[in-house]
């Protein structure tokens, strides 16, 4: 769930992790990995594997990967009083 394969002829395979805003979080090269290693990596990242393509996805996995990843947020501009707004807590996701 929430994992899309795109074949780009001539390009080295890599896993590109995106935020809910489609901002790139990380690129992981896959060239030197076996199929089993890639499956293990995707599982460790918290992606949900459906039993069948049309199977429902549990609510807790709707925004997979389920594990917290660093969220890239644009720098915050100071407010009118010159103070910078507080940053979100690591566990708090600004898009949810």
Averaged pLDDT, 10-37? 91
Select the more confidently predicted residue: 15 or 69: 15
Percent of the chain with pLDDT over 70: 67
Domain CATH number, residue 26: 3.40.30.50
Domain that holds residue 51: 14-61
Backbone angles phi, psi at 26, to 5 degrees: -165, 150
Bridge partner list, 17: 26
Q: 77-87 burial, b for 16+ CB within 10 Å, e for fewer?
A: eeeeeeeeeee
Instruction: Give residue-wise pLDDT tens across range 33-55.
Output: 999 999 999 989 888 888 898 99
Instruction: Flag whether 49 is in a domain.
Output: yes
Instruction: Flag whether 36 is in a domain.
Output: yes
Instruction: Flag whether 82 is in a domain.
Output: no
């Amino acid at each position: 769930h929430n994992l899309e394969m795109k074949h780009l002829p001539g390009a080295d395979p890599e896993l590109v992790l995106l935020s809910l805003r489609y901002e790139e979080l990380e690129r992981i090269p896959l060239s030197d990995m076996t199929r089993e290693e890639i499956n293990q990596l995707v599982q460790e990242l918290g992606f949900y594997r459906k039993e069948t393509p049309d199977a429902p996805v549990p609510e807790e996995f709707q925004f997979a990967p389920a594990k917290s990843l660093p969220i890239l947020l644009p720098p915050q501009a100071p407010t009118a009083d010159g103070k910078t707004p507080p940053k979100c807590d690591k566990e708090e996701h600004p898009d949810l």
